[in-house]
Amino acid sequence: MDIIRQQPQQLISEADLADIDEAVRKYLRAQHAGNTQRAYISDCKIFAAWCQAHGLQPLPASPETVVRFLSAEAEDGLSSQTLVRRRAAIRWLHEKADHASPTLAPIVKQAMAGIVRTIGLAPRRKKSPVIDDYLQLMLDQVDDSTLTGLRDRALLLLGFGGAFRRSELVAIEVDHLQWQGPRGVKGVAVTIPKSKTDQDGRGQVVAVLNGKRFRPVDALRAWLQAAEIASGPVFRGVTRAGTLRKAALCDHFVAHIVKRYATLAGLDPAVFGGHSLRSGFVTTGIIHDVNLFKIMDVTRHKNVQTVRGYAVIAELFKNHAGVNFM
């Protein structure tokens, strides 16, 4: 995938957004849209939102953009079937808008074949959540004497405490932060300009509590102060020599950080991914009997059934029949 990272990002314009919004609205007005077409429309909206969040052009999209998108979705645990449909939806949208489809490019076909070989055609098991106890084990491995360690601690804690998607996490900038209380002692309000569930780009605000146990806001302030970051991206790369980079981390790097500390903590890195911090917040909340709607205030889920999906495994261990004799 190095070739993908080397491609210059093409910033999306308001005109481009208007084009894709109008295209989607046009197809939504169709009176007899079938289930497949409705699924395509949903997939196209997700693709457009992802492109905007990454500063890439959705219509017409480049083959490299499609590969990056499909790879990111695969890393988030989507099944091969869903990814095949996502690719078909992107082709459908381009054909409807009279653009050549980037999905026909050899690089897209090769990437899709590689994804199918890697994760198979069977429904894929979702990545495991980083629940609070796992998070503590990971944090115990962080070296706070280095810039990289301070960044990683802040990233793990903010990702968990705000239940952020990895694309949202790396897109946070300093001016998105509003400290609550003196020096953020209470928490921080994080504005997300664009996200997967905010298709219109109206912006969403996530309240991250500093709390008593993990204190993510303290970790965030420690990182910003040590790195002397006063503006721009919050989470950036650090060279081996300890020099801070100017650009934001790639969203794939979130999964790398999670897996790295899972390994150091003696956990199986293969079962964790970039989504594990977000799912970890939800699952931990359910384990601690937090009201689902309060959890949704943080996660910004619109459908309670989606959140209940996280509860299945957590509920199996509550009031277990063997609690008194196992």
Q: How many CB atoms lie within 10 A of CB 250?
A: 18
Domains and CATH numbers, the chain: 2-119 (1.10.150.130), 132-316 (1.10.443.10)
pTM of the model: 0.62
Q: What's the pLDDT score for residue 195?
A: 63
pLDDT of 83-100, one tens digit each? Answer: 888 999 999 999 888 899
Q: Is 310 annotated as catalytic?
A: yes
Q: Which of 91, 151, 166, 278 is catalytic?
A: 278
pLDDT of 176-197, one tens digit each? Answer: 999 988 766 789 999 988 765 5
Residue 86 CB burial class (10 angstroms; 0-12, 13-18, ≥19): buried
Q: Which of 161, 172, 160, 144 is nearest to 272 (CA)?
A: 160
pLDDT of 111-166, one tens digit each? Answer: 888 888 877 655 555 678 999 999 999 999 999 999 999 999 999 999 999 999 98
Rounded Cα–Cα distance for residues 73 and 119 (Å): 12
- Beta strands 204-209 and 244-248, pairing class: unpaired
What is the chain's pLDDT, residue by residue, as a tens digit (326 residues)? 332 333 333 344 444 444 555 555 554 444 334 566 777 888 888 898 888 888 888 999 999 999 999 988 887 777 788 888 899 999 999 988 889 999 999 999 998 888 888 776 555 556 789 999 999 999 999 999 999 999 999 999 999 999 999 889 999 999 999 998 876 678 999 998 876 555 555 678 999 999 899 999 999 999 999 999 999 999 999 998 889 999 999 888 899 999 999 999 999 998 898 889 998 998 888 888 888 888 888 888 777 766 666 666 666 666 666 666 66
38-54 as b/e: b if 16+ CB within 10 A: ebbbebbbbbbbbbbbb
Q: Which of helix, strand or coil describes residue 68?
A: helix
Q: Is 301 annotated as catalytic?
A: yes
Residue 271 CB burial class (10 angstroms; 0-12, 13-18, ≥19): middle
Q: Which of 186, 310, 318, 320 is catalytic?
A: 310
Q: Which of 124, 196, 215, 308 is catalytic?
A: 196
Rounded Cα–Cα distance for residues 233 and 210 (Å): 21
Rounded Cα–Cα distance for residues 64 and 312 (Å): 37
